[in-house]
Amino acid sequence: MRIASLLLSALIVATVATLSAPAEAADNAALLGELRSSPHKILFESYVDNNWEIFVINADGSGRRNLTNTPDVHELYPQASPDGSKICFLADVQQDGDTIRSIYFMNADGSGRTFVADKVREPCWSPDGTKIAYCKQEFSKFNVSDFVSKGLFVYDLKTGSIVQHPNTNIHHLYVINWSADGKWFVSTVHGGMGFGHAILALEADGDRVVDLKIGGCRPCLSSDSKLITWSRDDHTICVADLDLQSSTPAVSNIRVIDEQKQAHLYHPDFSPDGRYISYSVGPGGRVLANGPGTHTQVAEMIGVRGPWDLYVKPISGQGPAVRLTQDESLSNKESEWIRRPATEKN
């Protein structure tokens, strides 16, 4: 099995090298210059020295720095608070032959790690940064499939209390977003709540569930929640206008940010100023576990290691992308822009 895993990993690396990947940074000097002047940074997960860690880079890909540095814990899926002062994330540890996936939050510099809950799925922040929402895993034993979740819960940073969403029928959600006005969650559902596969808007304090009818998965909302970006399919990143203020939430004016015939494009994220979208580019298909803390599943899932790298394009989708990371073997993915805190000096 180990030999097969190594052979598969080598094949994936060789395949990715031949993919129709976005242009390198040198091919878009103007965009690279803009990114160099951006005050914001980008978080992401990376597999380094047999360990998942959370890193931060400048918007142009420079200044790579490890924020977690924990060889015995695997940190994944960083999410920045709206003001850029904190980061919540997933942490995997092995216990009695099982993976225990937990949520923590910490300060933006990596200090002050605080436990939230275990046996969970991907978290997100409330618009005021005082709460963290997440789903619990569906079964007692861990399953790497991201949609194996049940229930939606909200943790209060000040009191430490946890309350469940009033809609107790919520299940099979993944990649949750909390709207800027606090009234809606936007998430993917897979085989749950009467849907096959869809992106939904769920009322934050009620039972309403609205199918946004755009297909695909892994949505991300702009900081004002007037735009949505998502993976329409394995090969296409889209952006569209999002109306959460009308009686029925709706998406309009869909446009393509990037589309590749062979490479898989996933995990899009808006910059805080709404000018750029970052995303992961890598292989598709099923990948075998190939190191401590890795799992066998399709390549884009959390905890699955593959030769991914991060790219960024302007929200217009015009021109070639800038490549932010340069080593596919490290599996750099799940980018998350983090706002420069107002208290940080120049």
What are 100-146's pLDDT values in tens digits?
999 999 999 999 999 999 999 999 999 999 999 999 999 999 999 99
Burial (CB count within 10 angstroms: exposed 0-12, middle 13-18, buried 19+), residue 72: exposed
| Mean pLDDT value across the chain | 92
Cβ proximity of 111 and 153 under 8 Å: no
Partners of residue 60 on adjacent β-strands: none
% of the chain with per-residue pLDDT over 70: 91
Is residue 194 classed as helix, strand or coil in its secondary structure?
coil
What is the pTM for the complete model shown?
A: 0.92
In the chain, the amino acid numbered 115 is F
Query: Quick one: tokens of 62?
Result: 């420079």
Query: Quick one: tokens of 160?
Result: 């430490």
Is the confidence at residue 257, as pLDDT, over 80? Answer: yes
**Which has more pLDDT, 9 or 218?**
218
C-alpha neighbours within 13 Å on the C-beta side of residue 206:
8
329: pLDDT confidence band, cut at 50, 70 and 90? confident
% of the chain with per-residue pLDDT over 90: 88
Cβ proximity of 92 and 53 under 8 Å: no
Is the confidence at residue 346, as pLDDT, over 90? Answer: no
Is the confidence at residue 94, as pLDDT, over 90? Answer: yes
Query: Quick one: tokens of 345?
Result: 């000096």
Is the confidence at residue 2, as pLDDT, over 50? Answer: no
Between vectors from CA 138 to CA 100 and to CA 231, what angle results, nearest 5°? 90
Query: What's the average model confidence in pLDDT over 162-182?
Result: 98
| Rounded distance between C-alpha atoms, residue 19 and residue 305, angstroms | 18
| Rounded distance between C-alpha atoms, residue 75 and residue 58, angstroms | 20
Predicted confidence at residue 28, as pLDDT, reads 84
Burial (CB count within 10 angstroms: exposed 0-12, middle 13-18, buried 19+), residue 289: middle
327: pLDDT confidence band, cut at 50, 70 and 90? confident
Cβ proximity of 250 and 243 under 8 Å: yes
List of domains in the chain: 2-338 (2.120.10.30)
